[in-house]
Chains A and B, each alone.
Chain A
Amino acid sequence: MSKRAKQLLENELHAYVDGRLDAARRAEVETWLTEHPVDADRVAAYRQQNDTMQALFNPVMHEPVPLQMYPQARRRSYVQPMRYAAMVSAMVLSGILGWSLHGAERNKQPPVMAMVNRAALAHVVYTPEILHPVEVGKEQEEQLTKWLSKRLGNNIKAPHLTGTGYELMGGRLLPGNQGPVAQFMYQDAHGLRLTLYISGKMAGKGEASFRYAQEGKVGVFYWVDEDLGYALSGEMDKADLLRVANAVYKGLNQ
């Protein structure tokens, strides 16, 4: 067989594997394959390759899309978007390092700063979730706050952020530095999410002044009020976040 004829045959075999032939050419290839078992084996193997790669990678299509991939997330972010993966791994790493290697040093860190750190970490871990952003949804708000109050040993309220455009989605219980903590999540019409992290057993200094910290691209406003530490985290600029922090404070003290 000439080189050219060989090439043509080869192309025809692949087109057969990929279902690109009309009935007449398909029949020709099938006749050829019954007489050439080596080619028939190859064709079967190539088909198997296609089927296996579909089985292997199709499930990726059904995974939740990271929030950062939506244009809404991009436009609303004033800071150059840091990669989600890098962000999470860096924060998880710093968390793990802080926890295991530098445990002693971490203990010297004021509990409020440890709270801010963990609040920002919890924010980046849970806000990209599509299916399970919260453990208990807002439709069971009463049970949610009752449960969290019991676990934290304190009266926990999920403030409503009326007038800010953010709606309560629900909340979850998380392990904190000093026992259980609560996280409430809020979302606006564009899908941008905020989290409010509430930690008990905070030695209150009697004064509830807002402080601000930046953890990667996550901004955090935090304060202590009557033994409870609060940290509001969001990926937005400071002024916008402060506006919401004020609404949170107001909502808590209603």
Chain B
Amino acid sequence: MDAIITEQIPRLRRYARALTGDRFAADDLVQDTLERAWAKLHMWRRGSDMRAWMFSIMHNTFINHIRKNRLDTVSMSDDALEVPTRATQEDFLQMRDLASAIGKLPYEYREVILLIGLEQMSYEEVAQVLGIPLGTVMSRLSRGRERLRTLMAGENTPVLRRVK
């Protein structure tokens, strides 16, 4: 039984790192999520989707951490950036811009964008994990992505001006 939980840990850590933008805050979130999952494991229906179950526990834990102000610094720190060695300078800038732009999004948008883009969940799964209607998932996705695009375009503007 433990294995079905522990095999989710790498995904949970990846999502938490993107969500919080901070290595320690992310692992703190994962640790709390795991504690809750172990305590509630008897409530999990055998055969149902463990990933969805774990991610919805993480969502609740995340909201809790925000309420308790354990996550007030949400901007992405450089520490959260894991740059693959093969990345070019351009890729690196792109990644840094995206990381800082994600940190500026309201967390409701951040969750939806990351569950879909990073975790590659279907829209229905996201609705289930976050406990919101499908229509809300779609509108958060649309607004969130557009805001992310504007933020990233905005961050590139000064560079373009200098070129002129």
Give residues in A with beta carbon < 8 Å to B: 7, 10-11, 14-15, 18, 20, 42, 45-46, 48-50, 52-63, 65-66, 68-71, 74, 81, 83-86, 89
Q: Are B9 and A57 in contact (CB under 8 A)?
A: no
Q: Is chain B's interface secondary structure helix, strand, loop, or mixed overall?
A: helix
**For the complex of A and B, 7 pairs with smallest distance between CB atoms:** A85-B24, A59-B82, A50-B117, A61-B10, A60-B14, A71-B2, A45-B149
6 more A-B contacts (CB under 8 A) besides A49-B149, A56-B98?
Answer: A52-B95, A55-B84, A57-B14, A70-B6, A71-B6, A85-B28
A84 with B27: in contact, given A52-B94, A54-B118 (CB under 8 Å)?
yes
Q: Which residue of the partner chain, among A20, A62, A84, contacts B31 with CB atoms under 8 Å? A: A84
In whole Å, how far is A151's beta carbon from the nearest beta carbon of chain B? 33
Q: Are B149 and A46 in contact (CB under 8 A)?
A: yes
Interface size class of B (residues with CB under 8 A): 35 or more
Chain B 12-24 near chain A by CB (<8 Å), digits 1 or 0: 0111011000011
In whole Å, how far is A254's beta carbon from the nearest beta carbon of chain B? 37
Give chain B interface residues in 23-48, CB to chain A under 8 Å: 23-24, 27-28, 30-31, 34-35, 38
Query: How many angstroms between the C-alpha atoms of A42 and B17 in the bound complex?
Result: 26
Q: Are A53 and B13 in contact (CB under 8 A)?
A: no
Q: Within 8 Å of chain A (Cβ to Cβ): is B160?
A: no
A69 with B18: in contact, given A53-B114, A56-B99, A61-B13 (CB under 8 Å)?
no
In whole Å, how far is A5's beta carbon from the nearest beta carbon of chain B? 14
Query: How many angstroms between the C-alpha atoms of A70 and B6 in the bound complex?
Result: 7
A49 with B148: in contact, given A14-B138, A55-B91, A71-B38 (CB under 8 Å)?
yes
Query: How many angstroms between the C-alpha atoms of A59 and B99 in the bound complex?
Result: 14
In whole Å, how far is A55's beta carbon from the nearest beta carbon of chain B? 6
Q: Are B87 and A55 in contact (CB under 8 A)?
A: yes
Q: Within 8 Å of chain A (Cβ to Cβ): is B59?
A: no
